[in-house]
Every structure is written in C-alpha cells, then in structure tokens.
Structure 1
C-alpha cells in the first residue's frame, strides 16, 4: 500500500505540494522555537557578575523563556490547524479517485491506509525540507529577539542533534493528524455518490465539527464572562485567550459560517459574474472554508492579541496618570531621596528603588520560589505619591513587606520568603497590600530600612517630587538637573513610560505572531493554489458555454473576494470577543472601561489579505485556463 501511496504522491504532486510546504514550515517553526527556548533556558550570566546582577540576568532570562514558550505554543497551534485544513481540502479534491478505488474492490481500510501512507510520505518530505528551513527561521528569530531587546547581544540558538528526531516526529505527526479525520471521512463515502458529487460527499459539517466548534465557542463566551472577576492578572490572561477559542470555533464551523457570511455581500451589485461567484462559493463549501480557515486564524489571533495588548497598555497609562501625584519625576541609579528632599522648593519626595528578589510562597508541597521584582520604599512617601494605595501601608514597618500592585498568589496575612542577591531576608509577614494594577508593577513593597544600603547602590531609582505651593517646578527641576539626575515632568514621564510599554507590547506581539502570521498567509496561498489546480475542467466548461477567459478569471477573483471577506469578518468577530473581554476587565479593575484598537494594523491585515488572495487567484486562474479548450475539457482533476 505504501508503494501505491508513493505512486499517487508522484502523480498528483501539484495537489500535494501545498500540503508539503505547510508541513515543512510547521516543522521549521516548531524546531526553531524549541531550540531557542532551550538555548535561552540554559543561558549563563556574564562572568564576574554580582549576585544582584546575576539575579537580574536570571529574571530577564525567565521572561525571554516565557516569551519563546508562548511563541512555540502559537507555532504549534497554527501548524495543527493550517496543516489539517490543507490536508482535508486536498483529500476532498481526490474523492473521485478514491471512489474509483472503492469500485475496483478496495475496502475502507485500504483507502485509510493509502491516505495515511501518503501522509507519512508527505511528513517525511516536509521534515527533510523543514529542518534547514528551521535553521533559517532560528537565525531570523534570534535576530528579532536581539533587536527588540528580549535577549542579550550575541544570543543565538544552539543546535542539538536530538532535534532531528523531534522534527521528524513533528512533521510526520502533524501530517498524520492532519489527514486522520479526512481519511476516515473519505473511507465512509459511498463510491457512486462520490462519482455523482452527492450524498455524504457534500455533507461537510459532521457531528464532530459541530460539537467541537460549539464547545470552543462556548469556551470563548465563558472567558468573556469570567474575565471581569479574574483580577488584573487573571482577567488579562482570560481576555487574551478569548480570540484563540473563538478563532478555533469559527474555523471548525467555517463550512457553515463562510457561505452564510457570503450571502450578506451584495453579489448582485456586480452583475451576473458576482452572482455566479457567490453560487460557486456555496456550491463547494469545503474549498471556501479551507481558504478562509487560515485567514480566520490569522485575523483572530493577530488582531485579538494586538487589541488586548494596546487596550491594557492604554489602561495602564491612564491608571498611572490617575494614581500618581507628582510635579517632577527624577530617575537615577542609587537612592538620592535625602538629597532631593533638601533642595529648596521640594515639598515631598517619594523614592522607589527597584530590586530583583527570589520570592517563596506557600508551604509544604505547594511551596514555590520564583524570581520577581520588588520596590524599596518609604511607606509615608509612597502614600503621598500614590494616594490610591490605601491606608494599609501605615502598618508597613520593620521586617515586614506589603503585597505590590503586580502581585498574585499571596495576600496580606501570609508569610513569604524573600532573598535579594545572596542576602536572605528570611520569612517576612505580609502586613498590607495595595490594589492590583492593570498595568502591573512590583510584586513586593519593602521598607527601605530592611535592606542593606550596598544592595541599592546600583539599583534603578525613581523619585516622585512634589514642589511647595508658589514654587515653579522649572526652578526645582533646574536645581535637580545640576546634580546629574534625569528630571522629567509628570507628563513627560507618563509619555515615555507609555512609549516604553507600547514598544514592549509591540515587540512581544511581533515575536509571538510575526513568523506565524507569514505562515498563515502561506497557508492561504496554498489553499488558493490547490483549489485552482483542480478546477481546470470547471473553468473550461464555463468557457465552452460562452464565457471568455477574462470573465472566468474575474469570476474566480470575485469568489476570492467573497471568501476573503468572510474570513476577515469571522476573524474580526473573534478579535472583537477579546475587545469585549478587555473592556470588562479594565472596567472591573480600574473602574473605567478602556479599549484601544490598532487601526493601522487592522488596515494592513485587511489590505494584505485582499492583495495576497487576489494576486494568487488571478495567477492560478490564468494558469488553469491556459491551453486549448478541448484539452482542458478532458483534463483530469
């Protein structure tokens, strides 16, 4: 049976090339992300670094590992759905061949074995092409991570020999999973119905698709409902996953939803060709759904994550503006709060020194240590600069800590272990907590007399300064600038902080979704190419009844517009689910419903989708209609 699979692969290579490309790129993305993940996790700190410098390095490494892990997850998710969609479409285009095999005496088991054999061959070929592609992708991802500041200069993914076995398992596994359900469905089709294009062959929406599609849709709705009660951390996580569940749901339900959305488009406005394009779309719903699927995933995930990122960043900026009271912000290395307070015209100065800490929470089997950040403060000054922090900080004194605005997993009344560099502060009681912030922040607030002064010597320090009534902030700023410190007005500090947050959020989005988005677009191109390659006889029949070649191409282009619009609409609805969850979360945490839509990115996605599908459709349609009409009518699909 494997030899028959190989013969079919060689004969119908134009049909399988798209599936092979998707497998190769899927293998490359997973291989690259996995190697980078391991390389980042095993990265050693610079020689001679101080204990606190090593802790900061480890904190940054953990952040980069988490980022690459998310990238790996998205790469695997995209690979599974795009490859399965491509394979299902490719198998559907061969239903006549499979029906002839059944009529010739092949059993259902033989058909399944044939398709699974082809999947193994495709997976092997895809792996061979995917391994070198993964090396190129790893170099690109390494450069991107360095350029955006997530890893130190000189970082590069390290090759591991065992990755070849992982890549082979990934390629063959993805190919087999992609064809498994399609093979089972193809084996159950009755041969005569397949030859007549009737019966089960046109029933695309199975009970399984309905069940899983509705399940994921219910999951998206549940996440929207739960995000307001998840707090600042949990609410953001749930909101960002809404678009993931919704995109998966719409992909599974695509054969039912894509034609439904297309019916809403004004097909008659463009004449007979528009009506014919709409009819073609609804006639072959599998082809339409397979083309729309990568667009739904791309639009839903990319715009969903972008909406969440920009919305929470904007909420954090407004939160900073509302909860911070200062005329000037002074940024230095090492605490200089006493010197600032002695400057004429300064009414109050709240100094906050950021230090990395190893925080231990829980007890027994639930005891857990993680690297995080703490801020060393003067409790009285902190309450003046942040009046929304509450009166509980009055109890923060001596060997005790407070729960910070970015904390989770513990609360006032608990006891936590704290270590800064090589200095172990032991178990400290949590005597107070400040409200959680949507923009995050320090996990712990530590009184300034708890840590030795030498541990703060090279710590980044921010001092919020309020001037006395009747004193011009500019005069105080001039005095402070003379001491070598960087002095900003509150508005300047807010603008810079917002720009840094936005740049970080954009960088995360680019790292996580950048190459995955290109992969999804390639999946769209593959679906269009496969669809056009199997329509040579259909196009020839249209020309035989009076259509010109140009009219056939324009009809295919209008059909592409319908499918692209449906994919973008469904993906946009998935992203809108995240927007609704972001509104609910920011309202619950900050009191104000805040959302921000990155319209330039939306416009780029829409324009890029129409451009790519349009150009690909025109090129493949011209190729499919090239040649003598008699030969095309006798072409084998």
Structure 2
C-alpha cells in the first residue's frame, strides 16, 4: 500500500503541488513563530541577566508609596559599613534616573522610556567594574558625562564634544569624556545611558549624599548566602538585601513577558493560516478523488478492500504533509532568522536561533496530520460509491449539490451564532465578549456551510453585469462557477475567513482611533501641551517658569496631587490656574459654574460625581494620607471622558492643592501663545524651555498622534500577518481553477473548436476567479463588520463616547486586494486552459 501511495503521489505531483505548498506555508508560519519567539525570549533573558554574575548582593532602600513610590535612599555611611564586612571585596553606591540625550537635531536619542542616567563609581584603581570604556574615560567633573557606544554612534558624538542632556531637574550641556560598553543591568534595549559623576547624579536623581542601592562584590571563595547573613544585621530600617542571582531571575521573568506575548500572537495567526489551508487541502483531495473514481473502483474490483484503498489515500496525504512539513520546517527557521535580523534592537547582539525539539515535533505533527484530517471527508465520500457504478461511468460522477442536511446544519449554526453575538452585544455584561466569541465561531462555521447555497444567488446577481461586459465569456464563467457549489463554497470560504478577521480589525481599529481622537483633542483648546518625555517622572516649577516670560502667553500647570479621600472616596486632585484654565481646556459644564474655582471650590467630572454620589453645593470632608484634614465644596460638574488623560476627574484651584501638598506632580503645562500654534511659536516654546530633550511640546496633531497613532501601526502588523492566510486562500483559488481546467479539458477543447479563441478562454477563467474572489470577500467583509460592531458594543459600557465607525477605505481596499489576489491566482490556470490541444481534448474519453 505504501509503494502504491508513493507511486500515486509522484504520478499526481503537479496536482498536489499547490496542496504541498499551502501546507509548507502554514508550517513555515508556525515554525517561524515558535523559533522567533524562543530566540527572542532567550536573547531577552541573556541581555536582562547579563552582568548580575558580578553582583553578589544588592542592597536597596524600600520605596515610599505616600511619596509617589520614591526611595529615601541610603547614605554614604552605609556604603562604608558594608564595604568593611568580611567577604566583601567592594561596595559601589548607585543612583539612577531619567536622562534624555539630545541628538544634533535637538531630538532625544533612543526610546524615551529607556533613556537612563547613572553615576560613575570608580574603585581604588579608578575603574568602575560595571563599565568598559572603549574611548576616553569616566567623568571626573560636574560638567562631564560618558555615553554608551550605541547612543554616541547614533548622535555622531566623539570624546570632547558638547552634549545636551535633559533630566527631571532641567537641561544642561556637558563635555563628553568617554564612551563605554556595559551589561544588561544598566542599559535597557533600545535606550540610552548617560554617566555622571556621583555628586551630579545624586543632585539630579535623588539628593546629595544618598544612593538608591548598593552593589556588593564578593571576595573570592565567599559564600553568597552567608554574605547575605552578614549584611542584613547591619542594614538600616526600610532596607532590603537581595542576591544577584535572585535579581537575575526576576529580570529574566520580566524580560520574557513581551517576547512570550509576541510569540502567542504569531502562533495565533499561524493557526488561522493553517485553518485556511484545510479548505485548500480538502478541496484538492475532493477533486483528485473525483478524477480517480474509476481508478479506485478498479482497485476495489480486483480485490482491494475499502479499508485498503482508504489507507492508500491517507498515506498519500501523509506523504504530501511530511514532505511539505520538512520543507516548512527549514524555510520557517530561515524566516525566523530574517525576522531576527530585521527587528532586533540595534544595541542587542545577534542571538543564535533556538530550534527546540518541541518546535520541530509540533511543526511536523501539524504539517502531517492536517492533510490527513482535511482529506478524510473526501476519501470517505469516495468510498461510498459502489465500484460497479464508478466503472460504468464514462465520465466522473456529477458533483454533488449542496445537500439539505448540510444546509440545515449550516443555517442552524448561523442563526444560533448570530443570535448569540447579538445577545452578547446588546447585554454588554461581564461575559459578553465570551458569548460573542462563541457566537462568532458558530456564525462563521454556519456561514462557511451556507456559502455553497449562497453561491447561486450571488453569481446570478452579477451575471447580468458580466454578460453585458462579455456576453459569451461572462455567461460561461457564471455557469462554470456554480457548476459545483460545494467546491465553490470551500474555495471562497478560505478567503472569507481571512477577510472576516481583516474587516473586523479594521472596524475596531477605526472606531477606537476616532474615539481616542475625540477623547483627547475635544477638550484641548490650548496651543501646546508641555509634558515630560516618555519615561520622565516629574516637572518642577523651575523647569517651566521660563514659559511665563513668553510674550502674551497664557498657561496653567496640571498639578496632580494624590493620596486624598473625599467623603471616603479615593481621589486625585488636579490643581490649575482658575484665571487661565477656561481658555486652555473646554469644560462642558452641566451644573454649576467654572467660576467656582476662583472661590476655592472644586469642579468634578460627571462620571466621578455619579460614582461617588456628589452634587453641586455639597461640602465634602477631606483627608490626606499624611494626616491633613479639611473640607471642600463641589461648585460644578462637567462632562468628561473617563479614558482621557488630559481632562481631570477633579479640577481644583492650584492654591487649594498647595495647601495640602507642597510638591504635587506636574503632569503637564497647558500653554496658549498670542500668535497661535505654528513653526515659529513651537521653536520659541522649545527654546524657552532650554532645548530640553526631557520635555515634549505637543500641539493638537502631536496629541492625536501620541494617543491614537499607534493603533494604525498595530493594525498594519496584523494585516501583514493575515497576508499569509490571504496567500493560502489565493492558492486555493489557483488550485480549484487548475483542477477545474483539467476536468473540463474536453469541454474547453470543444469551445475552442467552435470558435472561442485563446484570449476568450483566458478571459473566461479570469472571470471565474473574480467571481470566487468576490464571493469570499463579500461574505468575509459582512461577517467582519458584524463582529466588529458586536465587539465594539461591549466597549460602550466602560468607554463612554465609543461609536461604530466603518472605515470604507480600508474595507474597500481589503476587497480590492482579495480580487487582485484571485486574478493573480488565475494566471496559471488560464494559461493552461488557453494552451489546451484541440484535437486531443475533443477525442478524450
């Protein structure tokens, strides 16, 4: 049986090529996803844990939640005490914080949240073991810094150059004293690291004479566990000692989170691609078995049992899957290497690819079992045909129409799934998304089962248009498309699945983008918003004081003060300038008046007032974590979006906030200039802030891009991943048309003999492909919009103001891409059909 199956595979290798290619693409996707994810995880772990082997014990002061999570630090006396303990070779006090390095163009270098600063802590030999200098040396004066080599290369800086660096305390220019390399304990991926002298770093990041943590290096032969036992008794209260090995483990767990998430996303899309491939495989074996009906019947007639014939056909699918899986495993590993090259951070050395036995086993199992599962139903149907009936047929048996059982089951699934989706969308309970997910699976399955039934009315709808454009070719294409509804449905279903996901993502993305745009920019009436750069922690009055000197400037800080309980409700107060805030933010007041701020009262967002049960005129008892008490009066209630990070939940006059909090967190400064926004005004504001790369100046477009621009980037990534499913669906169209041409060889020869030229045959096949593509694209787009609406409804309960937005441009583009893919898929089958030999075809039995 195995020899027979092997012979049959090579006898029909051209027909099985598309199937093998589809399996190979699916296995390539899943192998590449797993290998890339494992490699990314190992590289991230290696970088995150690099350098901890030199740290025996790390001593750190606990953070204070009441002080915004900041640490009081450790003094120099503690460093000296720890350095004198038995088994301690060296003790280095460390202090770090946010430090943005400006490039030649004044913009920050590297990822903002990963822009770090630290102190150079030389030992007795003048070297710091944490840093290896490649050029120059560590900073020795207050006006000197050192940069990591990646940042220096990005900025084009050399030793001796002047570099502008911004921190939470402001910006200043420094002389570059050296360029260094360091390990993962100091430099985050994609970020920058600036070294200052110890005194400068303490002044910028903490306070003079104090350190955030102390790194202890053990003397040779020292047991780390015993060393911790010596360290803990001498530590001041509120201090924790952790071994370097434990820190490495914690960092490794944190580092793998992002890579695991990316790997899961990739595997999810790989599963979609494989699911789409099942339709191609099943369709191919359906057509192959139909073409070989007489051959299989002859095998039955000479003594082969049903089980033996079934095993031969399953062995064929197993061979195809095994060959395609080996190829997919090799190509997938190469794809993972390409992804690693394209997307690896510039400062991360290339890590070796990780091909685990688990990845190889999963890929081979999926690639070999999938064709067998997909081929089972066509083989089972073929075995139901009696040998005598198959041998007596001059032509292969007519394809089965969509059966009533299949139609009934499909209709039941579609109706049940649709009802579940609508129920989940309208009830919007906590389990609504689960209900919608299950309903979507049922509805999509039912729609796939009903596509054969839908194909006839769909083609009938477009047939008049086709016949008007091409009377002969259009009519032939329409009739050929519905000749086998089951085959048509299976081919279009693969395309429908991909378009369902793409359309649903488009609807959700467009709706979310519009909501975020409205939520963040509707209330913004100022010209500019000045905020700390990504990763920056706080702005001080001294940082933004120069803005007051701008001609005709109107400004108000957003001073956020935490730790309040108003009438027993946890609250955050945002202090503003009562005289200026009305020009800088649009308050849609529903009760009371914003003039209450000038009277020392507060204004409350509607969602906060509704949640707490407050009303205008109510006096609320105030209590802060530090023990201060008082009362405040609600003077106004205004509409606000709970998701907006610009409109405060509680607006208070800055004098009220200052009464209870001497150092509130300035989240930003709203600014209006006398000439309005513009390039010159922006340059003036930036210059007034001291060209500080630690501060970001945003206009309306900048705010919009910051809050909603990332959605488009994420959608583009998902579309790129879905392109694999679209490619496999296009292969299904090509395979279906190619097999159809083979089955209709005599018919095509007859048409040619009657006068249909090669161009006409090519046009007919292309029109069939367009009909298949249009059917799949239409069903997929309708399903995607429906599911996008349903999922969006579940957000409306928690996201006030979310509305359905239909991105007509993206939806139309998806349909056009599907039609273009179908047209490209028809090129090879159309070429084969046009080259059919007329005498040989017309005399074929």
**TM-score, normalisation: structure 1:** 0.74
Which residue of structure 1 aligns with residue 420 of structure 2? 222
Moved more, 90-99 or 553-562: 90-99
Corresponding residue SS for 1:349: strand
Which residue of structure 2 aligns with residue 279 of structure 1? 479
Task: Return closer, same or farther for 1:531/1:293 CA change in 2, 3 Å cut-off.
Answer: farther
Q: With CA pairs under 8 Å and 6+ residues apart, which has the higher RCO, 1 or 2?
A: 1
Corresponding residue SS for 1:509: helix
Task: Return closer, same or farther for 1:117/1:525 CA change in 2, 3 Å cut-off.
Answer: same
Q: Output aligned runs, 1:554-573, within 5 Å.
A: 554-573=763-782
Task: Return closer, same or farther for 1:541/1:396 CA change in 2, 3 Å cut-off.
Answer: farther
Alpha carbons 1:293, 1:567 under 8 Å: kept: yes
Task: Return closer, same or farther for 1:162/1:226 CA change in 2, 3 Å cut-off.
Answer: closer
| CA distance in 1: counterparts of 2:312 and 2:645, whole angstroms | 54
User: Cα distance, 1:154 vs. partner?
Assistant: 4.5
**RMSD (Å) for aligned C-alpha atoms:** 4.4
Alpha carbons 2:414, 2:446 under 8 Å: kept: yes
Task: Return closer, same or farther for 1:609/1:348 CA change in 2, 3 Å cut-off.
Answer: closer
Which residue of structure 2 aligns with residue 3 of structure 1? 3
Q: Output aligned runs, 1:181-260, within 5 Å.
A: 181-191=377-387, 195=393, 201-205=399-403, 207=405, 211=409, 214-215=412-413, 218-219=416-417, 221-227=419-425, 229-230=427-428, 247-260=444-457
Which residue of structure 1 aligns with residue 839 of structure 2? 630
Task: Return closer, same or farther for 1:63/1:240 CA change in 2, 3 Å cut-off.
Answer: farther
Q: Output aligned runs, 1:363-378, within 5 Å.
A: none
Which residue of structure 2 aligns with residue 538 of structure 1? 747
Which residue of structure 1 aligns with residue 367 of structure 2? 171
The one of 715, 718, 721 aligned to 1:509: 718
Alpha carbons 2:20, 2:321 under 8 Å: kept: yes
- 2:493 is equivalent to residue 293 of structure 1: yes
Which residue of structure 2 aligns with residue 130 of structure 1? 328
Moved more, 500-509 or 253-262: 500-509
CA distances 1:73-114 after superposition (whole Å, capped 9, x unpaired)? 221232133234333333334324234423542443233222
- 2:272 is equivalent to residue 77 of structure 1: yes
Moved more, 344-353 or 102-111: 344-353
CA distances 1:241-265 after superposition (whole Å, capped 9, x unpaired)? 9877655443333222223311211
Task: Return closer, same or farther for 1:144/1:288 CA change in 2, 3 Å cut-off.
Answer: farther
Task: Return closer, same or farther for 1:145/1:304 CA change in 2, 3 Å cut-off.
Answer: farther
Corresponding residue SS for 1:538: helix
Alpha carbons 1:19, 1:86 under 8 Å: kept: yes
Which residue of structure 2 aligns with residue 62 of structure 1? 257
| CA distance in 1: counterparts of 2:836 and 2:669, whole angstroms | 78
Aligned pair count?
558
User: Cα distance, 1:389 vs. partner?
Assistant: 5.9
| CA distance in 2: counterparts of 1:516 and 1:255, whole angstroms | 21
| CA distance in 2: counterparts of 1:318 and 1:36, whole angstroms | 38
| CA distance in 1: counterparts of 2:708 and 2:351, whole angstroms | 25
| CA distance in 1: counterparts of 2:335 and 2:307, whole angstroms | 39
The one of 625, 636, 646 aligned to 1:398: 625
CA distances 1:378-428 after superposition (whole Å, capped 9, x unpaired)? 81118999946615799895399xxxxxxxxxxxxxxxxxxxxxxxxxxxx
The one of 801, 807, 820 aligned to 1:611: 820
Alpha carbons 2:503, 2:781 under 8 Å: kept: yes
Task: Return closer, same or farther for 1:615/1:478 CA change in 2, 3 Å cut-off.
Answer: closer
Which residue of structure 2 aligns with residue 21 of structure 1? 21
**TM-score, normalisation: structure 2:** 0.57
User: Cα distance, 1:323 vs. partner?
Assistant: 6.7
Task: Return closer, same or farther for 1:94/1:591 CA change in 2, 3 Å cut-off.
Answer: same
- 2:347 is equivalent to residue 116 of structure 1: no
CA distances 1:543-565 after superposition (whole Å, capped 9, x unpaired)? 24443333333222222222221
The one of 491, 495, 500 aligned to 2:704: 495
CA distances 1:47-67 after superposition (whole Å, capped 9, x unpaired)? 355699698996674244223
Task: Return closer, same or farther for 1:310/1:245 CA change in 2, 3 Å cut-off.
Answer: farther
Alpha carbons 2:513, 2:708 under 8 Å: kept: no
User: Cα distance, 1:237 vs. partner?
Assistant: 8.3
User: Cα distance, 1:32 vs. partner?
Assistant: 1.1
Corresponding residue SS for 2:538: coil
Q: Output aligned runs, 1:415-434, within 5 Å.
A: none
Alpha carbons 2:733, 2:772 under 8 Å: kept: no
| CA distance in 2: counterparts of 1:396 and 1:78, whole angstroms | 57
- 2:529 is equivalent to residue 334 of structure 1: no
| CA distance in 2: counterparts of 1:108 and 1:213, whole angstroms | 33
Larger Rg: 2
| CA distance in 1: counterparts of 2:425 and 2:732, whole angstroms | 32
| CA distance in 2: counterparts of 1:519 and 1:439, whole angstroms | 43
The one of 514, 519, 538 aligned to 1:314: 514
| CA distance in 1: counterparts of 2:433 and 2:358, whole angstroms | 37
CA distances 1:513-532 after superposition (whole Å, capped 9, x unpaired)? 24444343334333333333
| CA distance in 2: counterparts of 1:575 and 1:196, whole angstroms | 45
Corresponding residue SS for 2:531: strand
Corresponding residue SS for 2:482: helix
Alpha carbons 1:330, 1:463 under 8 Å: kept: yes
Corresponding residue SS for 1:202: coil
| CA distance in 2: counterparts of 1:153 and 1:262, whole angstroms | 56
| CA distance in 2: counterparts of 1:152 and 1:465, whole angstroms | 36
- 2:678 is equivalent to residue 481 of structure 1: no
User: Cα distance, 1:301 vs. partner?
Assistant: 1.8
Task: Return closer, same or farther for 1:625/1:134 CA change in 2, 3 Å cut-off.
Answer: same
User: Cα distance, 1:278 vs. partner?
Assistant: 1.2
Task: Return closer, same or farther for 1:291/1:382 CA change in 2, 3 Å cut-off.
Answer: farther
User: Cα distance, 1:168 vs. partner?
Assistant: 1.7
Task: Return closer, same or farther for 1:164/1:193 CA change in 2, 3 Å cut-off.
Answer: same
CA distances 1:208-234 after superposition (whole Å, capped 9, x unpaired)? 675367436633552344145547x98
The one of 564, 574, 579 aligned to 1:381: 574
Task: Return closer, same or farther for 1:436/1:110 CA change in 2, 3 Å cut-off.
Answer: farther
Which residue of structure 2 aligns with residue 374 of structure 1? none
Moved more, 542-551 or 298-307: 542-551
CA distances 1:310-353 after superposition (whole Å, capped 9, x unpaired)? 32232222223357787623124231245468675654423599
Which residue of structure 2 aligns with residue 448 of structure 1? none
| CA distance in 1: counterparts of 2:755 and 2:334, whole angstroms | 49
The one of 344, 355, 359 aligned to 1:159: 355
Task: Return closer, same or farther for 1:254/1:132 CA change in 2, 3 Å cut-off.
Answer: same
Alpha carbons 2:280, 2:729 under 8 Å: kept: no
Corresponding residue SS for 2:530: strand
| CA distance in 2: counterparts of 1:536 and 1:226, whole angstroms | 51
| CA distance in 1: counterparts of 2:270 and 2:471, whole angstroms | 42
The one of 789, 793, 806 aligned to 1:584: 793
| CA distance in 1: counterparts of 2:410 and 2:642, whole angstroms | 36
Task: Return closer, same or farther for 1:51/1:144 CA change in 2, 3 Å cut-off.
Answer: closer
